Structure 1
Amino acid sequence: MKFEAITTLAKRPKGDLVIVPFYQGKERGEAAVSVPHLKEAYDPILKAGDFKGKAGSTMLAYLTGKKEKRLLLLGLGEEKECTIEALRRAYAAAMKRAKGKAWPHLNVILPKSSKLSVDEITRGVAEGIALTSYVFEEHKSKDNQELYHVKNVAFVGAKDPKILEKVLSINEGVTLARNLINRNALDVTPQALGMEAMKIAKTHPSVKVKVLGKKELEKEKMGLLLAVGCGSRVDPALIVMEYWGDPKSDELTMIVGKGITYDTGGLNLKPTGSIEDMRSDMAAGAATIGLIQAAAAIKLKANIVALVAATENPIGRAAYKPGDVYRSHAGITVEITNTDAEGRLVLADALSYGQKHFSPTRIIDFATLTGAIVIALGEERAGLYSNNEKLVKAFEKAGDLSGEKVWRMPLDPEYKELMKSDIADIRNAGKKRMAGSITAAIFLQEFVKKGMPWVHLDIAGMGFIDAPMRYHQTQATGVGLRLLIDFLENV
C-alpha cells in the first residue's frame, strides 16, 4: 500500500472512493472541512437527517463526477472530542468499508480541528487506515482469500509526506510482529525468530544481532531459560539486537521481550479454553523484533539493546518440574511452584544477561505475562509497574499518543511476602491466588539492579484478541511496538 500527500482538493487524483469527514451536530452532521465540489452529493443526505456524524458511523453515496465513483460520509463525533486516537478509530471504520472491495484507490480528505495540528491529524488518520489494512491469509486457500486490496491512498490536506512515510515504516514493523504471532508455532521456533532478527540486520547497517544457542546459554549459566525449554524438541535461544541511532548519547534503553513460542503451561498443563491461542505467548518478543525494524527504518534517535528470551514451554518427560529449584543467571535460586509461571523465568535471565553485558540507563520489559492483569484491566490497557516516576509519566503520555494505554499498578513491599520460599531464595509464583500480576512484577524486580530505572508492562489482555476491535483484526495486534516508539521519541 502506498500513501501520498495532496495539498488541495483540486489536485487529488482519480479514485474509487473519496472519504469526507463530518463532526456530530445536534440535528445533522457538520462538514469537518470545506469540500464545495462534493457538497451537492452529500447535502441531501444531511438535510434529510440521515447522517448525524456520530463517531465511526459511515454512509455511502454514489457520484457522477470525473474524480471518484463513490463518496463515503464518515462521522468523527463531536469536535471537542477530536484526538489522535479518535481519528484512528474513525478512519479505521472507513477503511473497513473499503477492505475487500474493488476500490484500490482511495482519496481521504483530512478534517480540520482547533485541537490538533495538521501533522497530528495526518498521523491519526494514516495510522487508522494503515493498521486496519492488515489481513492474515497465509493459511487460506485462494478461493477464501480477499480478492481486492487497497493499493493507493491520497491524503488531501496533508502537508508533510514524511509523516506518511513514517507511519508506513512503523506499520511494517507492526505487520511483522502480527505475522510472527499469527503463524503456526510449529514454524515460529526460537531459531526462526532469530532468523527474522538476522534479516533485519542485513537490511539495516545500524542494527547488530547475536543469537545465543543452547551451548552459549549453558556457558552463561542461564538456568531459568534452559529449565523452561528443557523438555522441548527445539532448543531455547536468546536473541540480542542492538540499534545505535544516537551514538553521541550516553543513554541506552534495554528492552526485554518474552518469547514463549508455545506455552502449554508445562506440567501444570493449561486446560481446554486456555491453551488454543498460546502461540501468542511470544507477542512481546515479536513486537520487540518489529520495534527494532521500525526504529531502524525511521532512523529513531535512540540507542536500544533488545533481548528476546525465546523457548517453548512444553510438556513431556524432560520438562522442568514443580517443586524443583533452579539457579538463575543472576545467581538467585528459584523454587518452581507452577510451571505455567514461566514467562517471568525467561525474562529474569534476560534481564540479568543484559545488565551484565551492557550498561543500560533504563530497562523496560514487557510480556503477555498473567491472566490476572486481563481480569483487572481487560483488553483496554496494559498493567505498568515501575520504580521511577519520570518513566511512568513518559509511558502514560506515550500511551495517550499511541492509543496503547497503560495503567499503573502497585509494587508495595508487602507483596514480597507472597513470594518467599522455604527452600530457595524466591518462589516463581505467589503462595495464594491473589495479586497475580503484582507478584509477577515483584519477582522480576528482584533481577533489576538497585537504582536502575525500570518499567514492567503486562500486555496479556492486549496482545491477542478473539474479535475485531477498533483498528485491530482478530488475533495478533502487535501491541507494545507503537507505545515504545512514542516513549523513546519523547522520554
Structure 2
Amino acid sequence: MRNPLPPVPTSLPDIEVAAELRRGVPAVRLVAAPDNDDVEPLEIEGVRISGKAGDVQTVPGDGPRWIAGLGGGEPKEYRRTGAALVRAVNATLADDVERGGKAFRAVQLELPEEASGEHVTELALGLLLGGYRFKVTGEDPKPSVRTLRLVSADPALPALVARASALAAATALTRDLANTPSNVKNPAWLAGTAAKVAGPRVEVTIRDEKWLATQGFGGVLAVGGGSASPPRLIEMAYKPSGASRHLLLVGKGITFDTGGLSIKPADGMHLMRTDMAGGAAVIAAVRAIAELALPVRVTALVPSAENHVSGSSYRPGDIVRHYGGRTTEVGNTDAEGRMVLADALTYGIKRFTPDYVVDAATLTGAMKVSLGVRTGGLFATDDTLAELVTAAGERVGEAWWRMPLVEDYAENVRGEIGDVRQAPGGPGAITAALFLREFTEGLPWAHLDIAGPARSEKNYDEVVPGATGFAARTLVELAASLS
C-alpha cells in the first residue's frame, strides 16, 4: 500500500541557468512598475498589468505565457514575484492537464540587466518555495512545473542559484517536518528522520530516554513523562577541517503540545503539530550548512518530547532538576519548551564549549501578540551576535526585531524553593528569555522566539498556509557570516 505521506524532504523544482531563450519552452516576460502610481496600467500584448510585484497575468495565444510585475525593483519584490509566478504557472499547468492537454514542465525567464545577485537570490527563493505543497492524500499529486530556466549572461549566476537552492531546501525541509501530523511524528520519528536527511557530512547521535535519565535531563523527562512516546535528544555535529569558530544551535522539538495538565483550549490545539518548528529549523539548517561546506563548526541539539496528559504527567508545583543540577519550580506545564531547552543549553555548553549559542523555538504566545506573524523576536546577551542575526535575516528575507532582556524582571525568575521559576508571570516572552538566560553560562547567546512567523494561514510572498520554515535560512546565513 502506498504511503499517503508526502516524501521528506520535499522535491523542489530545478533552476537551470542559460545564456539564451530556448524555442518551444513557455516564457515569462518580467516588467517593472511605472515610476508614478498615477500612471495607467501597462498594456502588453493585449494584457493590462500594473507591474506591481506579484501581479501575474496570462497572455492568450498559442501555448501558455505570462507577464509578471517586478514592482519598484527592491530585491524582496523579486521574491514576491517569483512566488506568485510559480503559483500561476502551476495553476495553468493543472488546468491544461485537466482539459486533456499535454503537460509542460519547464518555464523560462529572461532576467533584467539591472538584476543584481541579491535580486537573483530573492527571485530564486520565490520560484522554489512559492509552489510548495504538503497534503496527506491517497490521490495523485497535482502536476507542477519541474524546471525553471533563468536566462542571463552573468557568469556569477550559477553560484547564486546553487546557494539559493540550498536555502530554499532548508526552508522546505523545515516545513515538511513541522507539517507532518503528530500521529506519525513522535520524538522517535523526528530523530530518525533527522538522521536520514542529515547528509554524509553530518554526524547524528540519537539519545534515548534511558540515556536521558542516566545523564539527568530532568526537564526533557518531565515534559515527556505523560506520553506513551518517550523523549529523545537529537545531536548533530558538522566539523569541517580548519574551522576556527564553533556555533551551538538548540531547537525546541515538542512534537505535540496539549499543554499537559495546564491543558490548552481546544481551539487551535490542532496546530500544535508545528510546536517543533524551531527544532525543524535547526535540523534543516545544519543539513544546508554542511551541503554548502561552510567553514564553521556547528553542533545542533534538538530536545524532543510530547507534552501530554496522563497519570504520569508532570504537575504545577513540581521541582525539576535539570542537566547540570539547577532546579526549576514548575508553575505551568504549558511552558514546556523552556524546560527542554534548559537541559539542552546546559548540556551543549558544558559538553561542547561553543563560541556562540543560538536557540530557536515557538516559545510564547506573547511574542505573537507583540510582533504578529511575520516577524521573529530576537533576544540576545551580545550586541554583535544580535546584529549578525538581524543582518543574516535581512539577506535571506526573514525579519527579526530585537526585544529587551529587562533586568527589572530578572528577579522574578529567581525561585523560592528551587533555583529558578519557570512561569513567574509578567511579560511572557521577556521572562521566558530571562529564564533561558540562566542556563547560558554567560556565553554570547541569542534566543529566537518564532511563535508568530512559524505558521501561516494564507499565502504571502514565498509563504504558503501551514508551517512556513521561518528561521532556517537565517541560521544558515548566520553560520556563513561567522565562517
Distance 2:238 2:243 in 1: 13
Distance 2:298 2:23 in 1: 41
Distance apart, 1:188 and its partner CA: 1.1
Distance 2:291 2:131 in 1: 20
Q: 1:57 maps to which residue?
A: 55
Q: 1:417 maps to which residue?
A: 411
- Contact 2:253–2:305 (CA<8 Å) still a contact in 1? yes
1:416-454 CA-partner distances (Å, limit 9, x unpaired): 132233221111012x3x31000000000000012x110
Q: 2:5 maps to which residue?
A: none
Q: 1:24 maps to which residue?
A: 34
User: Is 1:172 matched up with 2:169?
Assistant: yes
Q: 1:244 maps to which residue?
A: 239
Distance 1:428 1:73 in 2: 54
Aligned pair in 2 of structure 1 residues 447, 227: CA closer, same or farther (>3 Å)?
same
Secondary structure of the structure 1 residue equivalent to 2:238: strand
Q: Which segment drifts farther, 92-101 or 454-463?
A: 92-101
1:238-287 CA-partner distances (Å, limit 9, x unpaired): 10000123x21231000000000000000000002131110100011111
- Contact 1:224–1:328 (CA<8 Å) still a contact in 2? yes
Q: TM-score, normalised by structure 2?
A: 0.90
Distance apart, 1:487 and its partner CA: 1.4
Secondary structure of the structure 1 residue equivalent to 2:188: helix
Corresponding letter in the other structure for 1:443:
F
- Contact 1:55–1:76 (CA<8 Å) still a contact in 2? yes
- Aligned pairs (5 A) from 1:68-107: 69-79=63-73, 82-83=74-75, 85-102=76-93, 103-107=104-108
1:187-230 CA-partner distances (Å, limit 9, x unpaired): 111111111222235x41x2111111111111111111111111
Distance 2:311 2:299 in 1: 36
- Contact 2:45–2:59 (CA<8 Å) still a contact in 1? no
Distance 1:313 1:249 in 2: 38
Secondary structure of the structure 1 residue equivalent to 2:263: coil
Q: How many residues align?
A: 456
Q: 1:487 maps to which residue?
A: 478
Distance 1:356 1:318 in 2: 30
Q: 1:127 maps to which residue?
A: 125
Secondary structure of the structure 1 residue equivalent to 2:298: strand
1:390-438 CA-partner distances (Å, limit 9, x unpaired): 11111111121111111000112111132233221111012x3x31000
1:455 maps to which of 446, 466, 476: 446
1:217 maps to which of 187, 195, 212: 212
2:282 maps to which of 276, 288, 291: 288
Distance 1:110 1:234 in 2: 51
Q: 1:385 maps to which residue?
A: 379
Q: 1:437 maps to which residue?
A: 429
2:22 maps to which of 2, 6, 12: 12
Aligned pair in 2 of structure 1 residues 108, 161: CA closer, same or farther (>3 Å)?
same
Secondary structure of the structure 1 residue equivalent to 2:276: helix
User: Is 1:323 matched up with 2:323?
Assistant: no
Distance apart, 1:318 and its partner CA: 0.4
Distance apart, 1:70 and its partner CA: 3.1
Distance apart, 1:29 and its partner CA: 6.0
- Contact 1:110–1:121 (CA<8 Å) still a contact in 2? no
Secondary structure of the structure 2 residue equivalent to 1:91: helix
Distance apart, 1:372 and its partner CA: 0.1
- Contact 2:121–2:164 (CA<8 Å) still a contact in 1? yes
Q: 1:109 maps to which residue?
A: 110
- Contact 2:226–2:313 (CA<8 Å) still a contact in 1? yes
User: Is 1:267 matched up with 2:261?
Assistant: yes
Q: 1:427 maps to which residue?
A: 421
Secondary structure of the structure 2 residue equivalent to 1:73: strand
Q: 1:208 maps to which residue?
A: 203
Corresponding letter in the other structure for 1:24:
P
Distance apart, 1:162 and its partner CA: 2.6
Aligned pair in 2 of structure 1 residues 13, 259: CA closer, same or farther (>3 Å)?
farther
Q: 1:3 maps to which residue?
A: 15
Corresponding letter in the other structure for 1:74:
A
Q: 1:446 maps to which residue?
A: 438
- Aligned pairs (5 A) from 1:221-236: 221-236=216-231
Secondary structure of the structure 1 residue equivalent to 2:32: strand
Distance 1:330 1:440 in 2: 20
Corresponding letter in the other structure for 1:128:
G
Corresponding letter in the other structure for 2:26:
D
Distance apart, 1:111 and its partner CA: 2.6
Corresponding letter in the other structure for 2:444:
P
Distance apart, 1:13 and its partner CA: 4.8
2:392 maps to which of 387, 393, 398: 398
Q: 2:10 maps to which residue?
A: none
- Aligned pairs (5 A) from 1:277-316: 277-316=271-310
Distance 1:120 1:234 in 2: 44
User: Is 1:349 matched up with 2:343?
Assistant: yes
Aligned pair in 2 of structure 1 residues 28, 12: CA closer, same or farther (>3 Å)?
farther
Distance 1:270 1:339 in 2: 10
- Contact 1:170–1:482 (CA<8 Å) still a contact in 2? yes
Corresponding letter in the other structure for 2:109:
V
Distance 2:142 2:191 in 1: 33
Aligned pair in 2 of structure 1 residues 77, 18: CA closer, same or farther (>3 Å)?
closer
1:141 maps to which of 128, 138, 142: 138
Distance 1:28 1:392 in 2: 44
Q: 2:160 maps to which residue?
A: 163
Distance 2:287 2:23 in 1: 32
Q: TM-score, normalised by structure 1?
A: 0.89
Supply the RMSD in Å over aligned alpha carbons.
1.8
Unaligned regions of 5+ residues in structure 1, if any? 31-40
